[in-house]
A and B are shown apart, each in its own frame.
Chain A
Amino acid sequence: MRPSRGQVLFTAAAGCLVVLAPQLAMAAEAAAPAAVVPWQATVGKAIGASFAMAMSALAAAYAQAKIGSAGAGTLAERPEVATTLIVLQALPEIIALLGFAIAFMIIGA
């Protein structure tokens, strides 16, 4: 199904935030004296990390909803493929894990 214009704009805006927020934080950190970490850097990192986590979690949820819906259809006719479907259902968790790793890297930067 084609995504709506709103969905595309939301995804683009969120993507920009994910990319730009850590850079803003790092820029703020570089501009500040070495000894004191400015509050803007901490907030920037937090925003970047939270967006990385949130977006990846949303993406994983969307993928799992699609797979779950198709999986339910398949299970109704072929219950013998349940194990395969559980594996497929779990696959998008990788997206959330990657988001978590990126969030961790942002916080630790």
Chain B
Amino acid sequence: MRRPRATDVEVDRSHDYGYCNARIRGMWSHLLDRGSLEQLVDAETLDAQIRYLSGTPYKADIEEALIYGHTVASVDRALRANVGRTWLVVLKILPEQGVGLVKAVLANWDIFDLKTILRGAHTQLSQAEIIDSLMPAATLSAAELSELAAAGSVRSVVDTLATWRMPYSRPLDAALPEYHRNGELAPLELALDRWYYSSVAARLQHRHDAGKRLVASVVGTMVDIENLRTAFRLIGAELTTAAIAEYWLEGGAHISQPSFVSLCEAADIEGILNAMRRTPYAKTLEAAAVTYLQEGSLSVLERALENLTTREVLAARRLDPLGVGVVVAFLWAKQNEVSNIRIAVTGRSVGLPEERMRRELILV
């Protein structure tokens, strides 16, 4: 039987964004600013970072999590608890007409977590190792994520999702035979992405408001960036045009299937940058290309694209100041803050240089 989930909460909802947006703006004012994150990075030990976080709105969650010890895992637990509670508050105060759009946005992090769990199960990582890499999600609770992380194999993860009657199980189940045939995760990840973007498009189909335009634009950018990521990874792969076209995700704002194929057939990164010259991503990619050439790591380009997505979504606050835009932007800002805190805390615990930590942060 399907478990009741946090997002099933039904409350009397207003049709007015006045209360919701004012409260969200109040919550926004509690987010850590650039200076606070700098101080967190500058803190010399994990204990100093925990002390610092105890003076922020994370205080109650940090204090509660510290009973499990002064460890990175405790901080992670606190962050997850805080984000989970925040999502619940947002979903409770949201006007009825915005719930679908916000759930669609929140599902993005479920997809991220499911991909992480699948990768962990594929490479036989331990439950703890998988949980350390998860983001706090809304529709999947911490207990559910933990159970999925303990599944042990890709097949078990998909079966568990099917038992819970989660919609994510359908695309995964369909792609499972191909996974078993090739032993590669790509078909499963692609199936999840396709399902997610098509379900968002289906939700948007019957709406005719500013919220629709905004979410469609955000999702268009996300699809483009996902296609670009794939193109970076496929450089040098000797695939046929038809095989490359299989990897293309529909729904992007600027990358059509033919242009995706030509991107993937580029000989090197420079070829991709040249092909992207007329798109809004050119500036970001060119700026990141310099660092990429120095370090030779694709993660530099992927980080730059993530940064771009975050900026695009946060701009929604200005594009739709009286509607769902403020809520969508807040969800992103909160998730980004948690990522930044995790980078600072994990970075300190593994002895990452401060300069490197600063580079990894997405400060907007």
Contact = CB atoms under 8 A, between A and B. Distances in A.
24 contacts: A1-B15, A1-B16, A66-B16, A69-B18, A70-B18, A70-B19, A70-B21, A70-B22, A71-B22, A72-B22, A73-B18, A73-B19, A73-B20, A73-B21, A73-B22, A73-B23, A73-B26, A74-B22, A74-B23, A76-B23, A77-B23, A77-B27, A77-B29, A78-B29
B18 A74 contact: no
Interface of B: 14-16, 18-27, 29-30, 93
A78 B27 CA distance: 8
Interface of A: 1, 66, 69-74, 76-78
B322 to A, nearest CB: 8
Nearest to B95: A1
A69 B25 CA distance: 14
A66 B30 contact: no
A33 B14 CA distance: 57
Contacts of A74: 22-23, 25-26
A76 B21 CA distance: 12
Contacts of B16: 1, 66, 69
A66 B14 CA distance: 12
Nearest to B24: A73
A72 B21 CA distance: 11
Closest 9 CB pairs of A and B: A77-B26, A73-B22, A73-B23, A70-B22, A73-B19, A70-B18, A69-B18, A74-B22, A69-B19
A84 B29 CA distance: 16
Given A1-B15, A71-B22, A74-B22, 7 more contacts: A69-B19, A70-B18, A72-B19, A73-B93, A74-B25, A76-B23, A78-B29
B118 to A, nearest CB: 37
A19 to B, nearest CB: 30
Nearest to B14: A69
Contact of B30 (A70, A72, A73, A77): A77
